[in-house]
Structure 1
Amino acid sequence: MTTLKPAAGPAPAPADGSAPPLVSVRDLTMTFPGKRSATGRRGAPVRAVDGISFDLAAGETLGLVGESGCGKSTTGRMLVRLLEPTSGSITFDGRDVTHLSQGALRPLRRHLQMVFQDPHSSLNPRQTVARIISDPLLVQGWAAGDARRRAAELMDLVGLIPEHIDRYPHEFSGGQAQRIGIARSLATSPRLVVADEPVSALDVSVQAQIVNLMERLRRELGLAYVFIAHDLSVVKRVSDRVAVMYLGRIVEIGDKKSLYEDPQHPYTRALLSAVPLPDPAAERRRERITLLGDPPSPAAPPPGCSFHPRCPKAQPLCKTERPALTVAAAGPATREVACHFPGD
């Protein structure tokens, strides 16, 4: 099987804080204008992402989890500059890329790639696999012959038959199509890949294959991932650290092991209580936390802590003062939590 070299540039650094982060996000927000009604009046603006901050080391995988509509996908699209942030900053490899023009951003595009949720809708049905995978290379100035050979190498790398390079997306299964999407994202030897629900549209057996593939590629190529998902079992399998989002904000972030074993935020505890356990006896013994009501609208968030209308341990303080993301545990398993009353 073909082995490709990592992208040119600084070598991947360990995710232990000993080197500057590959990606640094500070106070990032994204506000969309409200929809117009039938009478022409525009509704309240929607604050999809509300001031999030985190760092990502080279070679690290950060899992981003939360309910639908919490701002996960919007965050991922801002990281690769498919969306222009409303405010805040995104620094990639020491360079502020928040508001770079398309011309200034083009040389950096090769280092920032994305894998989309639905493999078939993200692949052009009128193009062959050869063209789909080699397009990013052609944009970067590669010769057509070299780009085609690279596409064949990538197909082999992701477990597809290179001889199928002239087929069209509809001739592949969902899992194979997602492998094509991964191959396309790797074409330019990126350093950061944002994977937006990359396995949610696939069968369980195929999910395991894609997750194992992405893990192997991370080890071989030194990739950094932002892995967006709502399946906490998958996130636990692939991530080094996990960030939990609720209504556009990160409410808990930290080391995967400590977060799963001892969640500090009530919302994190509720999410983890819904993850099935492989042991039937343990599954019967544990208490399932059921949240009441639906998540508030990002167009009209509640005052104070945005989670307080559904929180089983909300106090009067939670209704008036929004908690900041602060360190709840130090040391190797550093954890930050946005809660006035973290823990049990």
Structure 2
Amino acid sequence: MTAPATRPQTVAEPREPSSGPLLSVRDLTMTFPGKRTLTGRRSAPVRAVDGVSFDLEAGQTLGLVGESGCGKSTTGRMLVRLLEPTSGSVVFDGRDISRLSQSALRPLRRNIQMVFQDPHSSLNPRQTVSRIISDPLLVQGWSAADARRRAAELMELTGLIPEHIDRYPHEFSGGQAQRIGIARSLATSPRLVIADEPVSALDVSVQAQIVNLMERLRAELGLAYVFIAHDLSVVKRVSDRVAVMYLGRIVEIGDKRSLYENPQHPYTRALLSAVPLPDPAAERRRERIVLLGDPPSPAAPPPGCSFHPRCPKAQEVCRTERPALRPAASREVACHFPGD
């Protein structure tokens, strides 16, 4: 057996923060071609992501929130090149990875990994836990023995019993299966992890355990996260900054505390009003903002501001002119009339 191409790294390896953003995304778009109908015609193309831009510093967490179908998961998959962007750029650690060939991208994949939403469907049912976790290492040139030892270390780090290393995914609960997925994402000692709704398929009690685990791993390993979710209470727990998406665009992005305490975009205010409060008296007193209608189709977005058909503050300019992200109250907001 040949020696590994690189020396096996220790499990906990803190990193110094870089001088610039670890991840810089600019004008990222994804347009899916329309499907063919029974008559042979193609339906309208779907613009799933429409000009998303943000920065992420090393060691920080950016929460990406919004309704189902707003483009959160598509954005996450483009960041790791599981989907090829239609346009825009993804710059990781100073290097544009959005147009690299697969051979040029392979050495960089060790630094960017992903945790998927459904823990069981993301694991190969025919492979043991040892093979699932060690596969990324084997691709990177590690020997089988070193990869197996690393897999056992990662199982212990993520709260699993190393003696279960030869079991199959169906022998684990949902929370345990997600820990396997997290261990797999850490195998190559990445700097950035894209977490695509990692707790939405789990029970509430298990959600807290996984969130606490990811927070501990971030502190110990110096990880940065893009944490994709629709549960704003979970995002508030884990994030440093929050970006709110609607119909493929970021409508508000900023520091977590200021965004939660003083939301500027009407859509953000509506989302936060739907988060349950632990105090029943406060829950009864507060105003619940109910949005009328359904989100427009990304295949036929409305002109102007995409939120104006559901916005209680919409005026004529909102129907004709699409707002750009502009500074407002210590963050950026895409709204003609931000604030109260």
TM-score category by the smaller chain? Answer: over 0.9
SS of equivalent residue, structure 2 residue 141: coil
Cα distance in 2 for residues equivalent to 1:81 and 1:224: 17
- Counterpart check, 1:335 vs 2:331: yes
Paired position in structure 1 for 2:22: 22
Cα distance in 1 for residues equivalent to 2:217 and 2:141: 25
SS of equivalent residue, structure 1 residue 309: helix
Paired position in structure 1 for 2:82: 82
Paired position in structure 2 for 1:150: 150
Cα distance in 2 for residues equivalent to 1:29 and 1:85: 6
Paired position in structure 1 for 2:243: 243
Amino acid at match of 1:337: V
Cα distance in 2 for residues equivalent to 1:274 and 1:95: 39
Paired position in structure 1 for 2:282: 282
SS of equivalent residue, structure 1 residue 110: helix
Root mean square deviation of aligned Cα = 1.1
- Counterpart check, 1:223 vs 2:223: yes
Cα distance in 1 for residues equivalent to 2:12 and 2:210: 20
Cα deviation digits, residues 194-240 of structure 1 (max 9, x gap): 00000000000000000000000000000000000000000000000
Cα deviation digits, residues 34-53 of structure 1 (max 9, x gap): 11111111111100000011
1:1-344 matches, cutoff 5 A: 4-6=11-13, 11-13=16-18, 19-329=19-329, 334-344=330-340
Cα deviation digits, residues 8-45 of structure 1 (max 9, x gap): xx6224xxxxx310000001100000111111111111
Cα distance in 2 for residues equivalent to 1:198 and 1:12: 25
Cα distance in 2 for residues equivalent to 1:51 and 1:82: 18
SS of equivalent residue, structure 1 residue 91: strand
Cα distance in 1 for residues equivalent to 2:307 and 2:113: 32
Runs (5+) with no aligned partner, structure 1? 14-18
Amino acid at match of 1:223: L
Cα distance in 1 for residues equivalent to 2:112 and 2:269: 33
How far does residue 169 in structure 1 lie from its aligned partner after superposition? 0.1
Amino acid at match of 1:159: G
The more displaced of 37-46 and 184-193 is 37-46
SS of equivalent residue, structure 2 residue 309: coil
SS of equivalent residue, structure 1 residue 27: strand
Cα distance in 2 for residues equivalent to 1:80 and 1:219: 22
SS of equivalent residue, structure 1 residue 147: helix
Query: Normalization by structure 2: what TM-score?
Result: 0.96
Cα distance in 2 for residues equivalent to 1:36 and 1:311: 33
SS of equivalent residue, structure 2 residue 253: strand
Amino acid at match of 1:178: Q
SS of equivalent residue, structure 1 residue 5: coil
Runs (5+) with no aligned partner, structure 2? 1-9
Cα distance in 2 for residues equivalent to 1:73 and 1:168: 27
Amino acid at match of 1:12: P
Amino acid at match of 2:331: R
| Matched length | 332
Cα deviation digits, residues 170-194 of structure 1 (max 9, x gap): 0000000000000000000000000
Cα distance in 1 for residues equivalent to 2:328 and 2:145: 54
Cα distance in 1 for residues equivalent to 2:13 and 2:196: 22
SS of equivalent residue, structure 2 residue 227: strand
How far does residue 287 in structure 1 lie from its aligned partner after superposition? 0.7
Cα deviation digits, residues 233-255 of structure 1 (max 9, x gap): 00000000000000000000000
Identity %: 88
Cα distance in 2 for residues equivalent to 1:33 and 1:58: 35
Amino acid at match of 1:99: R
Query: Normalization by structure 1: what TM-score?
Result: 0.95
SS of equivalent residue, structure 1 residue 318: helix
How far does residue 6 in structure 1 lie from its aligned partner after superposition? 2.9
SS of equivalent residue, structure 2 residue 310: coil
